[in-house]
Structure 1
Amino acid sequence: MDRSEFREYLFRAQDGLQLYARSYGDRQHGRTPVVCLAGLTRNSRDFHELADFLASSAGGGHFVLSLDSRGRGGSERDDDKSRYIIATETSDLIAACGHFGIEKAIFIGTSRGGLILHNLIGLAPALIAGCILNDIGPVIEIEGLMRIRDYLNGATTPKDWAAAPRYLQSVHGKDFPILREHDWLEMAKAIYRDEGGIPVADFDPAIAEQLQVLTADTSLPDLWPQFDTFASLPMMVVRGERSRLLAEATVEEMKRRHPNLLAVTAAGQGHAPLLHLDGPRQAIAAFLQQ
């Protein structure tokens, strides 16, 4: 097939919370599945265009599964806000793989999704056939995390769908000069859900509130021990050219520790890069063909 319609699913986490996923492509071809994990407050819609491409004949004909973490997108909001942590979300990922009968996959993790993969490698290493990290690594720059904090907790709601792309461009335009009008519209569709004609951020606000405790003096532990565990696995990292979260120096150290690491720069993009644009898209398709 040249273009793929996605299928939607609801399933239960280990604690009973209802989670959402969508899939693209056909599992019958025998290729290793691709599983996509979104950023802190984002959801499976971020991967729609990339997943559609990867499932097409031009993109390699892969089966792609994209997940909404608890509290995001189509997944249920958790009454216990303390469970919005990487440990719980890793357990949810393991439950998802079990539900869909995935014994091994190539994972694409954007930002928070990449941190979940650093946790997964210690808990269920046999699940990981390969890993693509999108603008995340073992060291997180506090400046970038504070910018995310300020954006999420200070964001206003666009008055209507016509205003949503312009609003996003006004906030993120300097970090994403490569994006066109169509790209801002697609970003709006990914970030917001519709409530009576009004775009509303599609995540539990409690998730963003967790960042309020951050200051410039906050010490963030590095994840080099976890990263080193990936040494024998095929691995790729995409860094936004204008990223404030993943430093070039961190990528260089990642390459030193993992000599076979493929490092790709997303030109004209900040945090986190849109992977379906030219450059990252072709690099990911080529990586998956290895």
Structure 2
Amino acid sequence: MSEMLNSTQFVPFTAAVVLIFGLLTGSFVNVCIYRIPQSKSIVFPPSSCTKCSHRIKWYENIPVLSWLFLRGKCSGCGEKISMIYPLVEMANGFLYLAAFIRFSVSIDMFFTFYFISAMIVIAVIDFKTQYVYSAVVLPVAVLGVLRAFFSPSISLTASFLGIIAGAGLLLTAIAVFYLVTKKIGMGLGDVYILGAIGSYTGLKMIPLVLFLASFSAILFFFVAKMVFKKKRLAENITKEDINSGNEKDLDNAIYFGPFLAGSGVLLLLIPPYLLENCLFLIN
């Protein structure tokens, strides 16, 4: 009886530790998101304000809470601090918690932690810069294969086939689209992302990742387009102006990488019995 009591007390404590660890790691994820596109070291120097170079003190760097206490502004110059920072920290923290709930304390949980943080870095950088850095994506694939050596959840063969299927499927789609339209409809960065996701999910999940990513991308694009039109019309721009090409900026801003990354994380965290039902419906 006492062992059961200790066990029930241990789970909330571990969950709290995982959540805090995820929030703290989320702060480092923000550093990666900001510095990698600028080819800066993600370790040195310590974080500082991008405008006044005010060195951020430890109590100004507490995930989420510091942003709230500072009211989203630098304590040195009052420069606005983007809401992306606390959102990334919260996303990383709660996704770590979801990984703990899904895998408990196991080798899968720790490998999934890395996968989650890497996918957040990839998604946000791609969304902001429209560029996918192979230095971030390729280690995901390597660790996905390494995970297969230690985890009962996926075999080494399934991991390799996931990489081949993920990358190969998108490469084929890009080639066919180019032959038909003479345009490049998707970047190679998306190929790398889906290949890396495949190393974790295996071959069977690739169609579901693509389906979910495509559905969410279309939904996002549709909503964003409606919001864009309302905004432009509110500025007294005619529908004809909007439809004749002024939406070009919006079209160029929609990229597939963030949706692939988000779908990969979601499917890795969904329990197996739900995944089997989803695959059955798609097939």
TM-score (norm 1): 0.30
The structure having more radius of gyration, on CA atoms, is 2
Which protein is richer in helix relative to its size?
2
